[in-house]
Amino acid sequence: MKIYQGTNIGGYFSQVEKITEDHINNFITEKDIQQIKDWNFNIIRLPVDHIFFTKEDNPTEFREDRLKHLDRVLKWAKEFNITIILDLHKCPGHSFDSSERQFNDIWDSESKNRDNYLKIWDMLSSRYQNYDNIMYEILNEPVAPTNQLWFDLVEETIKSIRKNDKEHYIVVESNLWGDSPNFEMKKFDDEKIFYSFHYYQPLFITHQLAPWTKFYKLKLYQELTDYPGNINVSPEFFEKIEKAEPIYANFFKHGVNRFWDKNALEEMLKPVIEFKNKYNVPMLCGEFGVFIGAEVQTRTNWLNDLISLFKKHDISYTYWTYKNMDFGIIDYTEQYAENPNYSKDERLDCNTLKDLQSGFL
């Protein structure tokens, strides 16, 4: 099985506060795809929110003017021999975002949103069945009440796609945001599946000082944290996190009151590695990264160790993310104009790029 190394292009067709023609035409251009190729990456994960290409009042009425922009990116990628993972980042009836999850009803087999979601994949797989450089990631960071509810939806989605396209790989992420130590997965009866997870362990390192995190907003943990290094919190931390959002506490149960180094990172990969080896299936880490608020050495130490583990265990990866979005390999925002992770002229995080490239050197 081919091993892929690449990056996400977040903030392009997903998680955009206001979608404008200027943003669509200028945030990413063909030169960006060429840059990614010049870095020797061979895959791009392209997150797309359904609202980008659906009518506001009807999620199964599709906007051809917007879909043509997806076609364009696929065309650019093909010119540079890059595979695109078409990632449905948000869909009718599901969001990974804690502020929106109360509206998730996709797990109800009778819900209209579930039907709308399946119709989206019927459309996308029909439209792109003849493109030779695409994979379908059916849902980003599922947050189902039980694993079985997610597995049931996966089975339905596979059937919807395979009616149109029996050749392309389908990417299936594990439940609960794809969190690696909580990885629990079913082996599906389809040989063209990439099994996927996300790696942000421990959040106290990867999301340190990130203002949107619960632990920062609640002032439970606002410390600059070194890696390698110790992470210690009080018992009150868990009490307050579980009270604020019980399911969110899953992110922390493996990560506190211990020393974090490469061995600890590998321990958090154990469920992923065991599944991969048991079934001899391809595995993808669809997202990983360290918030730009971290110190330069912490960011590069963590990334270098994780990439070496991906290389050791033959795990494909797509870094979060290519541009801006608080994690970017490059960043042109004024907010981080003086951030020491970026070179002054190119606004490039040379250390992160070098760490990512080390996976295939």
Kindly give, in sequence order, each residue whose CB lies less than 8 Å from that of residue 340, ignoring residues fewer than 6 positions away. 296
Strand duo 258-260 + 229-231: pairing: antiparallel
Judge whether 287 counts as a catalytic residue.
Answer: yes
Query: Buried (b) or exposed (e) across 125-142, using 16+ Cβ within 10 A?
Result: beebeebebbbbbbbbbb
Q: What would you measure as the largest C-alpha separation in the chain, in angstroms?
A: 55
Judge whether 141 counts as a catalytic residue.
Answer: yes
CA distance 255 to 232: 9
CA-to-CA dists, residue 190 to 7, 65, 132, 183, 296, angstroms: 26, 33, 19, 19, 42
Q: Which of 30, 110, 191, 287 is catalytic?
A: 287
- The residue among 110, 183, 111, 109 whose CA lies nearest residue 141 is 183
Q: Which of 141, 155, 191, 346 is catalytic?
A: 141
Active-site residue list: 141, 287
